[in-house]
Structure formats: structure tokens, C-alpha cells
Chains A and B, each alone.
Chain A
Amino acid sequence: MKNHSREEIATGVTLHTLHEDKFKTNLIKFYFRRPLTQDEVTYNALLPKILQRGTEGFETSKKLSRELEYLYGAYLDGQVIKKGESQIIDFSLGIADLRFVDDQRLLKDSVNLLNELIYKPYRIDGFFKKEYLQQEKANLEKKIKARVNDKNRYAVERCIEEMCENENFRLYEYGKIDDLEGINQENLFRYYQQLITKSPLDIVVVGNIDKEVIKKELLNQFRFERQDIIEIPREEIMVKPKEVKFVRESMEINQGKLTMGFRTNISYDDPTYPALMVYVNLLGGGAHSKLFLKVREERSLCYYIYSRMEKFKSIMLVSCGIEFTKYEETVEVIKQQLEEIKKGNITDEELENTKKAMINSVKEMGDNVNSIADFYYGQVITNQYITPKELIKSIEAVKKEDVAAVGEKILLDTIYFLENGQQ
């Protein structure tokens, strides 16, 4: 990745550009950041959906889609994501690069669409259109209910919900059904105005677009009216569970889904954080990991098993699909692997393979437009700007003792098991 630059172009609006000419497409992302809270969560989830229903210039989704199609299938989307106890409302515009299609207005016209989508919603009497809101509320309700459809993910989310029952991190990123009734075209519109004027906004541009060109285009087209930019509070992360919480739930399913939630007690700005990354990867980061080799290859207990970090909340999750009757055995084998690392029973080969796998994925990240944007936006959240090279160095420096020491801090909090039975 070449020519990374960062500049505040309006109050609380930072433009990040990464010039890279190896792709066929260019990507422009707008990230609005909000705290993840009980009161706002459903509003944030609904907003990108209602905005996609129509704009001043394109009153229906159909008209918007037609314009996008004409612009060589430009991609325009809005969604919410949860990063720690932040909720991000993220708008993406993906367009073909001008070296491959002959349309000199492509950049200008597509940036116009992004502007329309975010800043010029279709309004009736000053507020969102009532019918659009009704439909999007119904769709969101369906989406929240649809959480049970993907059982593997459901088990992970339920584990988090139980584990963090008194923390905002429990909140589902698509919000709560109970909130929907109280949302109308007026209060949602007022909330929207707050969101676009007061939230920290980061614009990340990746591709073959010159920094000055895109900056000029954005400042020409967008009217950023910005004031009283909010502060996002840091998550509570140091947690020592008094006892392990056990949760079992049943559903009519064929395979048991097990998720174990751990408190790592190590923040992303802690000097031992690279050792924690190595720990999580060595435990269950792929085919080289202890969990894959012991639980899958040696005992044939599962097909999939992994561990992963919730970086911004300092939580580690281990998840797998098993026979209903193998619950105790699997929990035992997983716990043994954590013990092994804590005791320092890590071979040189394991440590080296883990680090190499991690370094490989850092390098590969630069070959994907979306991963590049997410990598840099992740740094905005942690407010730590390091290059992929520096990240690789920090991984290389991790020693076996560091990984074992990290293991001392990791505490099991919750075990969630989804088993078979009538609900």
C-alpha cells in the first residue's frame, strides 16, 4: 500500500486516502461512529435502510438502482456494524476504474449518488416518507427475528448476550423489536440530523483516485454541516468473572452448537496485545492450531472449530459444532488446550507457524479493497496508526513466554450450548 494520507477536511470529518492502482475498482466509504447504546441501537439500524428507499433526485429505490446500473453497476450500500461498544453506520460506493470503462462522468455522477443517499433523503412534509418507514420497520423486525436461522452465528451471539448481560456489548447490532413501535418518521428524522452533524465521520478512499481529485469532488458536492462532535466512551474491559456462567438452550436442530466466552483482560493498546493475538491464533486460528488438531483431527469431535477475538471489547470466543452427547468431552478438551498454552507447552514449530500464518494474512490484506478500508478504519477506532510493516514486526517479536503469560490473564466467563429439543 502506497501513499496513505490523512487529513481533516471539515469539522470532525477525516479523509483517509490510499492510492493503489492494481485494482479494477475504486472504493469510497463513509463511516459514521456512534456509541452502542440501548436508546440508539435500533435507530442506527433503521437509518441506512430508510435512506436507501429514495432521495430528492431519485425518489424510489428503483430509480436509484437504475442510475447505479447505468454507471457500470456501481455498488452503493448502507449498513450497520458493531465494533466493540461502537455502532458504525457505514456507506460504501464501489465504482469501476476509468482505465477500464469509457465514461468520464462516472466519478462525479457516482459521488453525487452517495451524496444524495446520505444527505438528501426523500422527504414528505419535512420528514421521512411514512410508507417507506413502515416497510423498513417490518423488514427490520423480520431481520431481527431471522437471527435464529443461522445456528452457528446464533450460538456465538447468544453467548455474548449472556456473558455481557450488564454491558452494552450485549446489544444486537440490528436493534430490538420492542423499540420499533415508538419510532416514527419525525423522531427518526430528528435523530438522523443529529447523526450526520455530530458523529465522528471518517471517509476512506481506496484505489486509483488521486487524493486532491477526490477531496475537491467531495468538498464541491457535499455540504458538511458539522457541530458539537460527540466523544465515544471507551469500553469497560477489565472483568474478572466470579464464577463460570452456564447457559443451555434448545431448538429443533441436528448438531449441537457450543460457544465459550472468555475475558482476556488485555486491551488493544496494551504492550502485550500482540502476544494475545498470537495466543488466539495459536489456540484456534486455523488448520495449524491446537483446537483444530486436538478437537477435530485427533478426536473427530467436530468439523469446524475456531477461536477469535473481539478486539475492541477484549473478549475471546471459541466456537464449534458437535454431537449433543459430546458436550462434556469437548469442553474438557478445549479447556486442556488453554491449560497447555498457560503452562508454556508450545513447540517452536507451533509458535513459528502461527506467526507466519498471521503475517501472511496481514500481507494479503493489502490485496483486497474492502480489507484495506477496514484495516485503516480499525485504526481510527483504536487511535493507533501503524503500518502493516510495523504490525508484522510486533508479531515477529512475540516470544513463547509472552504467549504463556497472556494465558494467565484469560478467564472463562460463559459456556453456551444450543442443543436439540422443543423450544
Chain B
Amino acid sequence: MNYVEIDGGIVKEKVYRKTLKNGLEVFFLPKKGYAKQFASFSTKFGSNDLKFSKRDGAMVEVPEGIAHFLEHKLFEEPEGNVFDRFAALGANVNAFTNFNITAYYFTSTDYFYENLSYLINFVQNPYFTDENVEKEKGIIGQEIKMYQDNPQWKVFFNFLKGMYQIHPVKNDIAGTIESITRTTKEDLYNCYETFYHPSNMVLFIAGDLDKDQVFEEVEKNFENIKVSEPVNIERHMSKEPDEISNNLVEERLSVSTPLFNLGYKDFHVGIRGTELMKKEIIIRLLLDIVFGKSSTLFEGLYDEGLVDHNFSADYISEVDYGHSILSGESTDPYLVKKFVDEHISHLKVNGLDKRDFERIQRKQIGEALSYFNSMEYTGNSFVSYYFKDINYFDYIQLLKDVTIEDINEYLMKHFDEERQVLSIIKP
């Protein structure tokens, strides 16, 4: 068997990789001693992909929420629904759609290879009819309404609408009642034929399994599936301006205390691979130093009663966009913003403390290590980084290589009040 071994360094894990003839990338992560087995079959196609060229070259624009709609519908086959087949083998099958990826996965403790065949086959066999597309609209409609009642979800999407002027990341992943109502089976097939080609997909497998057998069984499953030639997928997206759309977005909902998202738009975008991962790591360290539980800023906000333990900071790192995001609940989000602005101005003058940096670096190494307890988390991270030309196993090494100078550079660059958005959900 010819596959490439990727070494995980200090986490003491290995991943094996092979590219099949049809262009599919296959990864296997051995997990000795685990009862659970995991496989995910993912396509680089998410809610952001709304305008693209079809295989025949014609450009199409599809309704918002289509990637998620397609995810729901792939579970249907002429013989009925796919859940039953997995259930008969005791496996749990599910899927998720995010801005950039749709992933179908199962976990099992037995009959792994049978389940794997089911997974590969149902994802490769779309069955969309006018009738079953119509039926799904009721279910997705309820999913959208469930999110409309979720204040965390609302404050986040309002934040994105403030942050982005034209980028589709500002749209709800599931679309709107209006956009799903006009979705047709032709739209679904257009997307399927463009984005579900094996060369745009990744199969990730983990568990206490034999690696030779894993790769043999995978190849067997694709032997009889004829696929067309891979084509370069052309996505059409206008360039997102560096400027934000709106620095303040407010909405009312029935909540007890205001919720807020506060963040900064990153305009240093368009990079991929190691460079992109390095940027992500630097900004994550920076955010943790400035806003983390041990920071002077957090202590001040907490003692003033302005935030509680729900306060957190994160950075979203994609090839074509990026933003940091602070979220929490506060009786006075405007005052939180004032505290943050003043504190950051002060830090920009004084720079960061080296001891804080070294400590947070140790903290994040420990956290990154702990994520390897979960094969699902490891698999999903591996795949989403792979689509950005990044090897997830490089994470901890890059984290160790970051210097305080890198962090100070981003302290000056990232926190730009011109590119800051505050989103609030008020009671």
C-alpha cells in the first residue's frame, strides 16, 4: 500500500494520506484503544458558495441556504431514508453545513466497513424530486425559526451583517424562509454536479482499525463508481471592501440581559497554507492575552459587573475573510466597548508583557493537545484546514514558534476602531 505518513510530533499521533485516482483525498487517523470509529465525507461547499460556473461553463446564481438544503436532501434515497440503514448497524449518521464545508459523518462501534460503504454510496447518489424537495421546506422552515428564537445566533449574524458589505458570509447558513421557498430540484442538482466531485472532497477515517484494510476498502468502494473528469471549480465573488458595513447593529428580542458581539474586520486576507495558520495562531494568542480570564481587562470588566464568565474571544480565519469576535452578556455593552477601546489604546502605547505571552503560549499548547482526545474534533479540524492547504498537525509547532514581536505587530494592526463592529440584542 502506498500512502504518505504525516507525523503529529508531540501529540504522538500519525495520519496516513492517499490520493485516489478520481482525485479524492483520503486520510486515516489510527486511534488505538478507542471503541468508536468515525468517518466523515466532506465537500468544499458551504453557504458562501452562491455564484459559480457549472461544468458546461454557464454561470449560475443559487438561492441562499442551498448547501444546507442539499445536505438535508442527500439523506433521501428511492428506497427511503438513509438513517434506517445506519440504524440497522447501530451507527449514528449525521451531517453539518457551515460557511465553507458540508460534511456527512457517522460514528460506529461495529460493522465499520459496511457503514463506510453506506456513507460513500449515499453521498454519491443524489435523489431529488419535486415532491421530496417540497416536503423538506416545512422541516427546514422550522429549523430557521428555531434559530430566529436563539439570541446568540441572532447577535452573531447581525454582527456579520455589520462586518461585511457584500461577502455571502453575512447570510444565514440555512437561508431564509423566502430563499428556501424558491429552491428547486434543478438548483440542487446544479450544486451537486459542481461541488460533489471526488476531487473537491475529502474522506477522513479514524478509529482502532488496520490501515492497510482501511485504504483497500475505500478503494474497493470507488472501483465501480464512474466519475467525470475533474474540473477546476470557478466561484464568482466580488471583492469584499476593506471597510465594514455598519459599526453598530441593534435588535430587540425577548432576552433578560443584552447580548453583544464586538469585533474587528481583518483585511489582511487572501493568504493560504502555513502563512494563514500562523496569522490565526498569532491573533488567537493576542486575543487570549488581551481578553482572557487572566487579563487585566477581563478582571476590570468583571469587577465592574459588566461581564461574567460567558465573556469569550475568538478569531475566525478563512482564506477570503477573517474577523475577531468578543461575545458576552452585559447590562451595558456600550460601556464594555468603551473599556475595550481605552484598554487597547493603552496597550498599543505600552506593548504586551512577555510573561503574559509565555504563559498563554503554554496554556494554548495544553488546550491544543486536549482536542486530540476527540476523533471527531480532530477529523473536522484536519479537513477544514486541509481545504485551506494547511496541515493541522503543524498547529502546536507553529504555536511554539510564535514570538512576542509577532504578537505586538498584530496588536498594532488588528485592533482598528475603523473596522470595529458592535452588535447588540436588547431586551
Contact = CB atoms under 8 A, between A and B. Distances in A.
Interface in B276-302: 292-296, 298-299, 302
Contact of B90 (A66, A142, A296, A357): A357
A303 interface: yes
A42 B241 CA distance: 51
Interface stretch (B28-36, B211-219, B339-347): B28-36
B257 interface: yes
Interface centre among B33, B81, B298 (most CB of A within 10 A): B33
A20 B142 CA distance: 43
Contact of B139 (A100, A150, A253, A303): A303
Interface stretch (B51-59, B264-272, B312-320, B358-366): B358-366
B89 interface: yes
A255 B145 contact: yes
Interface string A142-154: 1101111111100
B208 to A, nearest CB: 9
B302 A61 contact: yes
A69 B299 contact: no
Chain A residues touching B, range: 35 or more
A62 B299 contact: yes
Contact of A73 (B36, B142, B145, B363): B363
A236 to B, nearest CB: 32
Contacts of B32: 22
Interface centre among B34, B88, B296, B366 (most CB of A within 10 A): B366
Nearest to B82: A287
Nearest to B298: A62
A143 B256 CA distance: 9
B230 interface: no
Given A135-B303, A148-B256, A252-B254, A288 B33 contact: no
Contacts of B298: 62
Nearest to B367: A73
Contacts of A70: 359, 362-363
B369 A100 contact: yes
A34 B100 CA distance: 47
Contact of B91 (A61, A151, A360): A360
B273 interface: no
Contacts of A384: none
A69 B35 contact: no
Contacts of A393: none
B11 interface: yes
A152 B151 CA distance: 12
B292 A65 contact: yes
Nearest to A253: B149
Interface in A46-70: 60-62, 65-66, 68-70
A366 B299 CA distance: 38
Interface in B133-185: 135-140, 142-143, 145-146, 148-151
Interface string A167-203: 0000000000000000000000000000000000000
Contact of A423 (B31, B254, B364): B254
Interface stretch (A84-92, A264-272, A334-342, A348-356): A348-356
Nearest to A75: B370
B92 A286 contact: yes
A321 interface: yes
Interface string A129-142: 00000010011001
Given A24-B369, A148-B255, A287 B142 contact: no
Interface centre among A21, A61, A74, A356 (most CB of B within 10 A): A356
Nearest to A296: B139
Contacts of A148: 254-256
B329 interface: yes
A66 B142 contact: no
B83 A288 contact: yes
Interface in A8-28: 20-25
B339 to A, nearest CB: 16
A142 B329 contact: yes
B71 to A, nearest CB: 13
B254 A287 contact: no
B372 A24 contact: yes
Nearest to A20: B33
B231 interface: no
A145 B369 contact: no
B294 A66 contact: yes
B74 interface: no
Nearest to A320: B142
Contacts of B135: 300
Interface in B312-352: 329
A401 interface: no
A20 B34 CA distance: 11
Contact of B87 (A303, A357, A364): A357
Given A61-B302, A100-B369, A152-B146, 7 more contacts: A100-B11, A135-B305, A146-B255, A146-B256, A288-B87, A357-B92, A368-B373
Interface of A: 20-25, 60-62, 65-66, 68-74, 94, 96, 99-101, 135, 138-139, 142-143, 145-152, 251-255, 286-288, 292, 296-297, 300-304, 321-323, 349, 352-353, 356-357, 359-360, 363-364, 366-369, 423
